[in-house]
């Protein structure tokens, strides 16, 4: 519980500084596992960009790769789309649990999802992926994992719509263990010094 509380505290303190790194999510990105098209071209299965109420397709998300033994992924979710996000997370957890890919199974072993009690930025709901340990160098992008688990494109589009329509941003942190420098034992005087409490 101390780790979870510390993680939530770290998230809330860090979110303002990390907001500049947030991924734009109000738009619908191309389906995971497919080759992204240029922004000026329509995405198959979607109305052409430029129509009223229709947002253009966003660029493909960047790979989520960790270089440290522990990692955090922050996801800010629209308060009115929490149910959609959690449903998408159910599909993700099923994909991780059923994967036959050794690397994905190794990723799943250290992958935990937390929901913050405190409100996130702009009254969003904050979800934290804690990866402990990480698989260093592995891609933690949800699109790739979902595409491998759900080959049916219609189903994949349905899941991706739940996710992309609910998330407003995300950030990644690499964490390395902290080791304090050597220090003196409390109450023990250094050579040549008077012990504490003695004249």
Taking only the tens place, the pLDDT of each residue in 71-80 is 999 999 999 9
Contacts of residue 167, Cβ cutoff 8 Å, sequence gap at least 6: 23, 25, 75, 76, 77, 78, 85
Which range, 20-24, 52-56, 139-143, 193-197, is most confident? Answer: 139-143
pLDDT band at 29, cuts 50/70/90? low
46 vs 130 pLDDT, higher one:
130
Q: Residue 72 CB: number of other CB atoms within 10 A?
A: 21
Backbone angles phi and psi of 149, in degrees to 5: -85, -30
Tell me phi and psi for residue 134, to 5 degrees: -85, 160
Reference 73, options 29, 123, 126; nearest CA is 126
pLDDT at 57 over 60: no
Q: Mean pLDDT in the chain? A: 77
The domain 2-19+62-175 having CATH identifier 3.30.70: the answer here is: yes
């Amino acid at each position: 519980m101390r780790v979870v509380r510390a993680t939530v505290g770290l998230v809330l303190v860090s979110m303002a500084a990390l907001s500049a790194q947030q991924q734009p999510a109000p738009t619908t990105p191309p389906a995971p596992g497919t080759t992204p098209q240029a922004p000026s071209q329509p995405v198959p299965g979607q109305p052409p960009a430029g129509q009223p109420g229709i947002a253009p397709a966003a660029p493909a998300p960047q790979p989520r790769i960790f270089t440290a033994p522990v990692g955090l992924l922050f996801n800010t979710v629209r308060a009115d789309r929490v149910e959609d996000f959690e449903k998408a997370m159910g599909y993700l957890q099923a994909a991780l649990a059923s994967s036959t890919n050794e690397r994905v199974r190794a990723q799943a072993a250290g992958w935990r999802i937390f929901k913050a009690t405190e409100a996130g930025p702009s009254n969003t709901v904050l979800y934290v992926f804690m990866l402990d340990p990480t698989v260093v160098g592995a891609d933690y992008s949800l699109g790739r994992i979902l595409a491998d688990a759900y080959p049916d494109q219609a189903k994949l589009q349905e899941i991706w719509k739940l996710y992309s329509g609910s998330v407003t941003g995300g950030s990644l942190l690499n964490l390395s263990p902290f080791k304090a420098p050597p220090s003196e034992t409390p109450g023990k005087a250094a050579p040549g010094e008077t012990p504490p409490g003695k004249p």
